[in-house]
Amino acid sequence: MYKNVNELAAVVRKAVETTVITDVHTHLSPPSHGDSLLWGADEILTYHYLVAELFTVAPRSLTYEKFWAMPKTAQADLVWEHLFLKRGALSEAARGAITTFNRLGLDVAKRDLAGIRKWFAEQKIEDYLPKVLELANVDYAVMSNSPYSAGEVGFWQQDLPVPECLKAALRIDSIARAWDSVAPTIAQAGYDVKPEPDEKTFDEVRRFLLDWSGRINPMYFAVSFGPDFAYPDDSLCTQIIDRAIVPAAVETGVPFALMIGARGNVNPNLKSAGCGVAVADVMTLTRLLQKHPEAKFLVTMLSRDNQHELTVLARKFGNLHVFGCWWFCNNPSIIDEMTRQRLEMLGTAFTCQHSDARVLDQLIYKWGHTRKIVADVLVDKYSDLFNAGWRPTEKEIKRDVRAIFGGSFEEFLNK
């Protein structure tokens, strides 16, 4: 047992440093799905966060067209030159690349990109995937699986092996937000659906979701909504939520995950790096929770301004679980603030972070950076408790740390 507040702080730091993490949202894929699993130096350097940053400083002569026509190595060279050599790698995403290379044992001080590439070229994905999971100390990461993107559907139909450390999630943005764009594909897959939905269509979408649930066993259904997401309204989206998504979620017992606040295509020239953020209306989510007490909802919001209201809402509805500091919130200053706010209002009934890794190696930095911030926050919280006379045991501390890194998520799934 620790004897004073400093010793308690060491126990807390160790618990955060060593806890196993469940990564509740990523964009990773199984190695059996071919090129879909991104990893290695060039993927790390061309992460869309870094591409957006490159264009804040690149000379005007570097047009978007030129950049996108380049091979990935040339794109990565440009990012390296402008963000790491000509400038200080100070942004969170740039520091993340440095942390990743460093934790993999590469000597980043040498600034030897050729040497770094050579090291990656020698890795075999079969060994590299478990190595990264081990370095990040992640038990499993939840993927984002599309039931209608041709390539991915083909992989699932072949029933290729998926390692235990990757779990599925059914990503259905277009069903909810762009029905007419996917209706033909779903019809072709054998479902009696119409782009202008008739009565039968909703039942068939539900059946489609149930079939895919049987196929990939998803941890949740997920949709990213823009800041102007409105519910209920007279849109097709409301009908699809009420008549297909929520019923299928209830029937399978999996939550419906909503990621709210990404403003699509603010600058379409940047492609996947072109989204922005705007404040959403938390009342929309409130109405969804009021209407569907029978369903479970996982929610993350993109705007920092929405976080306080969202946390309050999670106190009001036991079927709402908030997770992660998403994208533009995945920065130390904001993670610190959001984690404090959530602990102060929810105790441990939330998931403090998800990595959103698009590139396997990013698990290393995203979790390394988050652990440090959350440890600082928890040291403060436990010190306050100590000073108030409370003496949590090491076992209790470990339990509570695990709770916000995945334990509460699993408890929510099982409740």
Interface contacts to Zn ion, rule CB under 5 A: 356
CB of 187 to ligand FIX, least distance (A): 25
CB of 272 to ligand FIX, least distance (A): 5
Our finding on whether 204 is near ligand FIX (CB under 6 A) is no
Q: Which amino acid is at 184?
A: P
CB of 28 to ligand FIX, least distance (A): 11
Binding partner of residue 224 among Zn ion, ligand FIX, none, CB cut-off 5 to 8 Å per kind? ligand FIX
CB of 47 to ligand FIX, least distance (A): 8
Q: Which of 19, 22, 29, 224 binds ligand FIX (CB under 6 A)?
A: 224
Give the Cα separation of 316 and 313 in Å (integer): 5
Sign of CA dihedral 386, 389, 393, 399: negative
Cβ pair 314, 350 in contact under 8 A: yes
Cβ pair 168, 28 in contact under 8 A: no
Counting every residue written for the chain, the total comes to 415
Positions 26 through 85 that interact with ligand FIX (CB under 6 A): none
Give the Cα separation of 281 and 227 in Å (integer): 7
CB of 109 to ligand FIX, least distance (A): 28
Q: Measure Cα distances from 192 to 84, 146, 160, 360 in Å.
A: 53, 20, 28, 38
Binding partner of residue 92 among Zn ion, ligand FIX, none, CB cut-off 5 to 8 Å per kind? none
Sign of CA dihedral 102, 107, 109, 110: negative
Strand partners, 258: 223, 299
Sign of CA dihedral 277, 283, 287, 289: positive
Our finding on whether 356 is near ligand FIX (CB under 6 A) is yes
Our finding on whether 259 is near ligand FIX (CB under 6 A) is yes
Of 250 and 334, which CB lies nearer to ligand FIX in the complex structure? 334
Of 300 and 348, which CB lies nearer to Zn ion in the complex structure? 300
Of 92 and 400, which CB lies nearer to ligand FIX in the complex structure? 92
38 φ, ψ (degrees, to nearest 5): -90, 140
Binding partner of residue 303 among Zn ion, ligand FIX, none, CB cut-off 5 to 8 Å per kind? none
Give the Cα separation of 166 and 33 in Å (integer): 12
Binding residue count for ligand FIX, defined by CB under 6 A: 7
Per the listing, tokens 């000379």 go with 59
User: Peptide bond preceding 195: is omega within 30 degrees of 0, i.e. cis?
Assistant: no
CB of 38 to ligand FIX, least distance (A): 11
Of 12 and 329, which CB lies nearer to ligand FIX in the complex structure? 329
- The single-letter DSSP state of residue 302 is S
Of 188 and 272, which CB lies nearer to ligand FIX in the complex structure? 272
Our finding on whether 290 is near ligand FIX (CB under 6 A) is no
CB of 198 to Zn ion, least distance (A): 33
CB of 223 to ligand FIX, least distance (A): 9
DSSP helix, strand, coil percent of the chain (3-state; round to 5): 60, 10, 30
Of 259 and 352, which CB lies nearer to ligand FIX in the complex structure? 259
Site string for ligand FIX, 260-279 (x = CB under 6 A): ------------x-------
> Which two structure tokens, joined as six digits, stand for 332?
């130390």
Of 337 and 356, which CB lies nearer to Zn ion in the complex structure? 356
Helix axes 113-121 and 72-79, enclosed angle (nearest 10): 140
Cβ pair 352, 370 in contact under 8 A: yes
CB of 356 to ligand FIX, least distance (A): 4
Of 148 and 202, which CB lies nearer to ligand FIX in the complex structure? 148
Give the Cα separation of 45 and 93 in Å (integer): 9
Binding partner of residue 386 among Zn ion, ligand FIX, none, CB cut-off 5 to 8 Å per kind? none
> Which two structure tokens, joined as six digits, stand for 159?
């029933």
CB of 358 to ligand FIX, least distance (A): 5
Give the Cα separation of 2 and 393 in Å (integer): 9
Of 25 and 369, which CB lies nearer to Zn ion in the complex structure? 25
Of 224 and 307, which CB lies nearer to Zn ion in the complex structure? 224
Per the listing, tokens 């998926």 go with 162
Our finding on whether 327 is near ligand FIX (CB under 6 A) is yes
* C-alpha 261 chain-centroid distance: 14
Site string for ligand FIX, 135-174 (x = CB under 6 A): ---------x------------------------------
Binding site for ligand FIX (CB under 6 A): 144, 224, 259, 272, 327, 356, 358
